[in-house]
Amino acid sequence: MSRGRPGPVTGEAGRRPGGAARGRGEALPEELGSVLPVGFYARPAHVVARDLLGRVLLSEVGGRPAAGRIVETEAYTGPEDPASHAAASIGRTERNDPLYGPPGTAYIHLNYGIHWCLNAVTTEEGRPAGVLIRALEPVLGEELMRERRGRSELTNGPARLTQALGVGPELQRHELGRAPLRILSGAGPVPGEAAIRTTRIGISRGAELELRFYDERSRWVSRR
């Protein structure tokens, strides 16, 4: 499996998004950007979590494109992080094994036994660190998201966004530089004055650590 630097996003005919006709005649807009290189993820989780704000998560599951701008993330930094699924007290297990994989791959975990959540693996292979994608601002395929969700709340939460994008456990360990699930550069990172850093949500251990990041300009953030 190649781990080289991915190129720009292309359609089946090898063209960039704006010129590539998709299966149902849709064309992906140029402003979604290009695939982020593997090196983007090969950095500390908190750095990646901040830099993912403003990037675009694109799903083409089932051949139907839907995408959102990332507006909220949480970093889980490694075994020393007591809130991590691979904290030192837990060690390596069958459940958290994908978190030990190469940077730029997907770690998909089940929350409360019913909700799938998407994480981007970071840092280096063998060190279990990653970034939870917590909220998206829809930019493409909002009608499809509503169809999948069946309700008004679409992507303002980690479980909601995976359902809206059709993301499930079949994409475990998936390389986030290739279809059907990619993270793209978008218009670039959120400017410093708009990026808020605060504590994480819904955890009892490591709750004091400021490892959640969000774009204060977006109404799609799950919690302020």
Nearest-angstrom CA–CA distance, 34 and 22: 17
The Cα–Cα gap between 59 and 68 comes to 9
Contact status, residue 117 vs residue 136, Cβ threshold 8 Å = no
11 has pLDDT over 70? no
Instruction: Return the pLDDT at 27.
Output: 64
Contacts (Cβ under 8 Å, ≥6 apart) of 135: 70, 71, 72, 155, 156, 157, 158, 161, 214, 218, 220, 221, 222
The percent of residues above 90 in pLDDT, for the chain, comes to 83
- Answer whether 56's CB lies under 8 Å from 65's CB: no
**How high does pLDDT run on average in the chain?**
90
Q: Are 55 and 41 in contact (CB under 8 A)?
A: no
- List the domains of the chain with CATH numbers: 32-215 (3.10.300.10)
Task: Output helix, strand, coil percentages for the chain, rounded to the nearest 5.
Answer: 20, 25, 55
Q: Per-residue pLDDT for 191 more than 90?
A: yes
Mean pLDDT within 169-191: 97
6 has a pLDDT exceeding 80: no
5 pLDDT exceeds 70? no
- Whether pLDDT at 25 is above 60: no
**Who wins on pLDDT, 224 or 2?**
224
The 10 Å CB-count burial string (b at 16+, else e) for 173-211 is ebbbbebbbbbbbbeebbeeeebbeeebeebeebeebeb
* Residue with the two structure tokens 């799950």: 222
Going by C-alpha positions, the residue among 117, 104, 112, 212 that lies closest to residue 164 is: 117
pLDDT (0 to 100) of residue 114: 83
Q: Which two tokens stand for residue 126?
A: 């063998």
Is residue 2 over pLDDT 80? no
Q: Is the pLDDT of residue 21 over 50?
A: no
Higher per-residue pLDDT: 18 or 180:
180
3-state secondary structure of 181: strand
pLDDT at position 29 is: 87
Alpha-carbon torsion (183, 64, 117, 107), positive or negative: negative
pLDDT in tens, 106-158: 999 998 778 999 999 999 999 999 999 999 999 999 999 999 999 999 999 99
Would you state the pLDDT for residue 26? 56
Alpha-carbon distance values, 102 to 3, 4, 28, 82 (Å): 9, 12, 28, 22
Place of tokens 């089946």: 12
Render pLDDT for 29-70 as a digit per residue (tens, 0 to 9). 889 999 999 999 999 999 999 999 999 999 999 999 999 999
- Give the span between the Cα atoms of 144 and 147, in whole angstroms: 5
Residues 109 and 117: their CA atoms lie apart, in Å, by: 5
